[in-house]
Structure 1
């Protein structure tokens, strides 16, 4: 179609208004495209942040000193020793994040949100020297403001601290009864009390396993000691378990039981003095459930007294307590996540109940490899949901 003509027959020039709109439209498109490219680039850069590699040998970590910017970071831990190892990030005696039971020759990843500061890392055997993790300030760490207010978390934090105190007191009481049975020489009573005595501790394990020093004396795994079961530093529940259910002898268990009572007394006092922070409440359930699904369930740590199902039930009781306290906080800011957590928690409880029933039919309280696979899948789904809590609520793992 030809351009419109004037009375003299010459083409009429486009109006300045039309030209302005055309230029403006083109400019907007360029700006939108540029913004989209910028966002995509930023997102790609964030998503493609390389994992920090660290190797655990029989003697130390390589490298033994790491430096990363603050924010959410991923570590790839490879086991170059000849036995299962764990790798922990410690803030004083508190465990911020960890991976357990990394098999020889295998790798595992660990994702953790870190605030600026200097931390220690464990490197395999508990007798090995610790490494150092330097976390430097970054814009990413403070980029997103909290979605939930501190006021909304004050009630749940106070109630959870009360719950921790009540359960730790119960653990101390039950451990004392166990110690008394051992001292009186009643093996059968001590065996029955052992399973009962672990339950309160298991309910608060999502938090108390953060105390690295006490965890290594209250509930350590023999594989993390140089001489395993024969190592003099191997004490706590599992050392007592070995005497009660393997050698079926109370010889030498009395001082071990007294040590357990003393350590649980220290734990009780430490929990009373502990400052409850949003991060402790928000992160604990997800971190611990991840540890269960990735490290403990496949490894079958509780293999002697066959306390698998009762321990898992107690763990779920503790996780359920945290979920219940956070539900009123999460639902207003992310109702879909609140529903997802409730659904996966219910499914996990149902799976544990089913496996416990099947195990009882087979006259065993221990899970078979097939059952462990199904339990691992259920706990993995639950962990995935719980690990969305920090970003949904907007608080980081260091409690701010």
Structure 2
């Protein structure tokens, strides 16, 4: 399995909107101030009369449990900055830029109810032009998760028909038909990217590579789409590939049945929107997942479709929270157009200009998608 959880946010997650800009490092007059104390009994002791502009708050947890600490607007709950996992007895730095207005800390103990501390007021700075990011709650994600679950369930039903056709083609001994059926089915699977964690071990069995397998392509643990691809495009006997195709088809049908009761993690929607394209950049656009078909650009386009599916269900939440959504859509369209222009071309046959442009498209799109994970992360607000 070649997917992993996005690790770009380590300890500090900050969502920036308008003039509320995260700055890294010690800045401003408050950088050397004493720590702001948080605990079960109070959230923000010692934070008084903050200055406007960029600064680094020193937050000390004197309580007995780990907690999240957020800088919020006490009236609306919108979030300007956040620290995750502030351990008991530790002091952490929280960089933030403050404009005019009221602020407070919201403390979220790992085993308790979130609560907001006293408000402090910033005066003499820039006028806050608009709201920060309103927290997304677990309740907010129920409808998007339901829609995405339906999207994946429908995709698995289509996929089951396609892997059945693939198995039939392999058993008939028609290599050309088998190759075409393989490509059709594999691209359908690649459009379901945000659900791979919910698939559990099935993802590795259906779409795993030779990475980490001692026997390489001959290893018994090498199964699924890429095992069949390797055989179909390296002229392995179709008789020998029959059990591979049958096993793939049975695995997809079992996954379709099991997925009815599966749960997609609430964190995975926003997270996977970024990871899908990150994996595309690392694996498809380097050719590391090409086992002979030369179809990694088609796979990249399928991954882009999968990313769009995630964004479509999250769009009602992002529309009022993510000012970069318009730019993100622009890069989605550009990447889509450039991949479409290269349709039918193997990665190795791209011109240098084409390859550099597609690489740049996907790299930039990956960066533009990064804030979606932080914005769509479910937060406890009460």
Residue 233 of structure 1 and its aligned partner are, at CA, apart by: 1.5
1:377 aligns with 360
Residue 245 of structure 1 and its aligned partner are, at CA, apart by: 1.1
C-alpha separation between the residues in 1 aligned to 2:32 and 2:138?
Answer: 39
Q: Is the contact made by 2:283 and 2:289 (CA closer than 8 Å) also made in structure 1? A: no
| Aligned with residue 351 of structure 1, among 338, 345, 349 | 338
The change in CA–CA distance for 1:368 and 1:70 in structure 2 (over 3 A counts) is: farther
- Does structure 1 residue 203 correspond to structure 2 residue 218? no
2:12 aligns with none
2:267 aligns with 279
C-alpha separation between the residues in 1 aligned to 2:284 and 2:29?
Answer: 53
Residue 147 of structure 1 and its aligned partner are, at CA, apart by: 1.4
- Does structure 1 residue 222 correspond to structure 2 residue 242? no
Q: Is the contact made by 2:198 and 2:262 (CA closer than 8 Å) also made in structure 1? A: no
Report the 3-state secondary structure (helix = DSSP H, G, I; strand = E; otherwise coil) of the residue aligned with 1:40: strand
The change in CA–CA distance for 1:33 and 1:232 in structure 2 (over 3 A counts) is: closer
4+ residue runs over 6 A deviation: 29-33, 113-116, 142-146
1:24 aligns with none
Name the stretch that deviates more: 208-217 or 288-297.
208-217
The change in CA–CA distance for 1:257 and 1:303 in structure 2 (over 3 A counts) is: closer
Name the stretch that deviates more: 227-236 or 378-387.
378-387
Residue 312 of structure 1 and its aligned partner are, at CA, apart by: 1.8
Equivalent positions of 1:40-79 (< 5 A) are: 40-42=55-57
Q: Is the contact made by 2:267 and 2:377 (CA closer than 8 Å) also made in structure 1? A: no
- Does structure 1 residue 258 correspond to structure 2 residue 238? no
C-alpha separation between the residues in 2 aligned to 1:286 and 1:247?
Answer: 36
Residue 172 of structure 1 and its aligned partner are, at CA, apart by: 1.4
Q: Is the contact made by 1:185 and 1:250 (CA closer than 8 Å) also made in structure 2? A: yes
Q: Is the contact made by 1:70 and 1:115 (CA closer than 8 Å) also made in structure 2? A: yes
Q: How many residues align?
A: 279
| Aligned with residue 328 of structure 1, among 303, 316, 331 | 316
1:191 aligns with 179
The change in CA–CA distance for 1:181 and 1:394 in structure 2 (over 3 A counts) is: closer
The change in CA–CA distance for 1:308 and 1:143 in structure 2 (over 3 A counts) is: farther
Residue 161 of structure 1 and its aligned partner are, at CA, apart by: 0.7
C-alpha separation between the residues in 2 aligned to 1:365 and 1:299?
Answer: 7
Q: Is the contact made by 1:330 and 1:337 (CA closer than 8 Å) also made in structure 2? A: no
Equivalent positions of 1:389-400 (< 5 A) are: 389-395=372-378
Residue 356 of structure 1 and its aligned partner are, at CA, apart by: 2.5
Report the 3-state secondary structure (helix = DSSP H, G, I; strand = E; otherwise coil) of the residue aligned with 1:387: helix
- Does structure 1 residue 338 correspond to structure 2 residue 353? no
| Aligned with residue 315 of structure 1, among 298, 303, 324 | 303
Residue 251 of structure 1 and its aligned partner are, at CA, apart by: 2.8
Please list the CA deviations of residues 225-244 of structure 1 after superposition, one character each: whole Å capped at 9, or x if unmatched.
Answer: 10101112211111111221
Q: Is the contact made by 1:199 and 1:314 (CA closer than 8 Å) also made in structure 2? A: yes
Q: Is the contact made by 1:341 and 1:385 (CA closer than 8 Å) also made in structure 2? A: yes
Gaps of 5+ in 1: 1-28, 46-68, 72-112, 117-136
Residue 305 of structure 1 and its aligned partner are, at CA, apart by: 0.8
Gaps of 5+ in 2: 1-27, 34-49, 61-65, 69-83, 88-108, 117-132
C-alpha separation between the residues in 1 aligned to 2:377 and 2:193?
Answer: 24
Residue 365 of structure 1 and its aligned partner are, at CA, apart by: 6.9
